[in-house]
Amino acid sequence: MKKLIPISSRDDILPEYFNTPIGLLLEYHNLLRPHASYPKAELLIGMCMDNRKYLKIPANFSYIIRTGGANLRHSEFQTSYAIAVGQVRHIALIGHNKCGMVNLISKKEQFVNGLSEGAGWDKEKAEIHFSQFAPMFEIGNETDFVLSETKRLRLRYPKIKIAPMLYLVEDNKLYLLKED
Ligand SMILES: [Zn+2]
């Protein structure tokens, strides 16, 4: 948690993000800034599919790609679309604590049984499905993953400003992540 930068006033927003759509996201969500109206999207948010998270942002303000663990490696076309066609120039990548994409192997039995009992899958097929995809979607550690994914995206999209963040499910606030 030593990498978290709490945002409880506008002064807490790092200068590189101040007065950008990234800073505005922090103001809207954490500081309850009154909503402006947006004719088009200003931001792309990458965040986890997890149900515990809800962002307080204006209508039309942002594209949102939700995936397991805020992992955009398998959503590259959608990311490119938001930049190329949607004309956004800023990305907020939001991981969260207690993410289900950490230590996936520990959930194998639950996954296989759940798919078998809940969806009518053959157990053997469910096991193959898990073994095939779990390594692709495992993120290891939420904070480190968001930081490394931010670095990867910056190399991929060099003109786009990208900020790594963490959402704490206990207080429902966004935190900026300190980078080395
Ligand atoms: Zn998650």
- 177, pLDDT greater than 90: yes
The rounded Å distance from CA 100 to ligand 1 centre is: 5
The rounded Å distance from CA 44 to ligand 1 centre is: 18
Report the interhelical angle of 123-137 vs 108-119 (nearest 10°).
Answer: 130
End-to-end Cα, the chain, rounded Å = 14
- 2, pLDDT greater than 80: no
**What residues have a C-beta under 5 A from ligand 1, the ion?**
48, 50, 99
Written as one letter, the residue type at 21 is P
Determine the 3-state secondary structure of 80 from DSSP.
helix
The owner of tokens 């103001």 is 27
The rounded Å distance from CA 52 to ligand 1 centre is: 9
- 87, pLDDT greater than 70: yes
pLDDT band at 166; cut points 50, 70, 90: very high
Q: What is the pLDDT of residues 44-76, one digit of tens each?
A: 999 999 999 999 999 999 999 999 999 999 999
The rounded Å distance from CA 126 to ligand 1 centre is: 21
The rounded Å distance from CA 157 to ligand 1 centre is: 24
The rounded Å distance from CA 39 to ligand 1 centre is: 30
CA–CA gap between residue 26 and residue 157 (Å, rounded): 22
- 180, pLDDT greater than 90: no
Q: What is the pLDDT of residues 98-117, one digit of tens each?
A: 999 999 999 999 999 999 99
107 neighbors 137 (Cβ within 8 angstroms): no
Percent of the chain with pLDDT over 90: 98
- 1, pLDDT greater than 70: no
Average pLDDT, the chain: 97
